[in-house]
Amino acid sequence: MAVKRQTVSGSPAKSLGRESRSEYDETAPAFAKSAVRVAVLTHSSATDILTLSPAKGLRGQVSIPGDKSISHRALMLGSLAEGETTIQGLLLGEDPRSTAACFRALGADIAELNSECVRIQGVGLGRLQEPADVLDAGNSGTTLRLMLGILAGQAGRFFAVTGDRSLRSRPMGRVVEPLRQMGASIWGRAGGTLAPLAVQGGSLKGIHYCSPVASAQVKSCLLLAGLLAEGTTQVTEPALSRDHSERMLRAFGANIQVDPEAKTVAVVGGSRLVGQKVQVPGDISSAAFWLVAASIVPESELLLRNVGLNPTRTGVLQVLQEMGADIQIENCREMAGEPLGDLWVRSARLRGCTIAGDLIPTLIDEIPVLAVAAAFAEGITVIRDAAELRVKESDRLSAMAQELSRMGAQVSEHPDGLEIKGGIPLHGAEVDSHEDHRIAMSLMVAALGAQGSTLLRGADCARISYPDFIPTLQRLTASSLES
């Protein structure tokens, strides 16, 4: 196939000393001269290949795309509410598109997705229609798991749900088992632990479920099922997971009770949800890639705007600051019940640390890119209590150990984590995304600080959660594109 070169201009920035941050100027000369080259070889088995060269300073500002967790929940609750819901700042990744497609098939009137304003006319609790076809969650575990809780209480209707190859291999028993305890009728492969799954909607009763894992997906699934259940549904976790569902359910009118000391959340059945105006903050999981990239690439300084700072999600900031990262938080405010602010990050010498315990649920999605930070940090970083990463879109512990090792990092893999000896220069290598968006973007960040070129297979999956990641990377490094 013909190769066509297109030059993409950077977004130049002047040197951003702390004294000049209020006078940020996007039109000043660019500093970075690295190159990011993309060659799409095929759209079948090879998918795509991205070749990255070392960066020499990332400078500029980034508007972080909408939070994926909040985008999913806004689409779902807007569909279940009475009246109109408007969503501003929605993430336009593939996962929220899967959620929107499913709830359109269930009868909700969802306008064309955009980041400006999406309007939803909800159907009301318990009034979803029986779809004419199988509901396809794509690659989105959040869509499938949370939707199971919603569908289980739709009495008298039948639903079939599935996902792509990756999702069909991910465990669903963690939500199916407690839903069955509530009275749900769910069948599927491997005793109902793997999709495709069939759901016969019926009457549910509230339970008190003690989850063996701190999982926002498990908790949210059961709270959503509890909306239509008789009595009160309670979920107790071993550690507090992200609380976006509790915040948004309360905003939509649900009777939500939270006991932080007991790590328990409850919902009383029979609530009436009413449409709301939702503003989606920037996703701190997406911001984490730029936080690490700017920290490890010398002469970097980035301003990340409108980043969600929900306290159940800010573990990545705590860890990076413990590692010595130069991060400042400014312009803190609250929007639709969610705290947010702007983050300044500059390059810094990092040091190893331990990431474990109750901190893990607050940064579970950021561990792949924190592993990259650890490879560039002086000393040893230990990651423990993160076995949950083995059942994500890929086995993220194995994937990061394998790919960072190919780049020369010293990584030891353990059942629930990694041990990384940092400070050893990485070199370019041929690496693979494992069809996992967070692995793909983490490896792109690692390549920016490596010596020589890195060839990344399967980079296109980054679009699942961050459609503009590669273009943004090109802009921040004032680079060129081949396609």
Compute the Cα dihedral for 372, 314, 72, 232 and give only its sign.
positive
**What are the two backbone dihedrals, phi and then psi, of residue 364, each rounded to the nearest 5 degrees?**
-55, -40
The yes-or-no answer on residue 358 being catalytic is no
Question: Would you list the DSSP string of 169-204?
Answer: TS--HHHHHHHHHTT-EEEEHHHHTEEEEEEE---E
Catalytic residue among 67, 365, 432, 460: 365
Cα–Cα distance, 106 to 129 (Å, whole number): 5
Tokens 């359910």 sit at which residue?
249
Cα–Cα distance, 93 to 159 (Å, whole number): 25
Helices (H), 261-390: 284-296, 315-322, 367-376
Closest CA to 141 of 215, 208, 81: 215
The residues carrying an active-site annotation are: 365
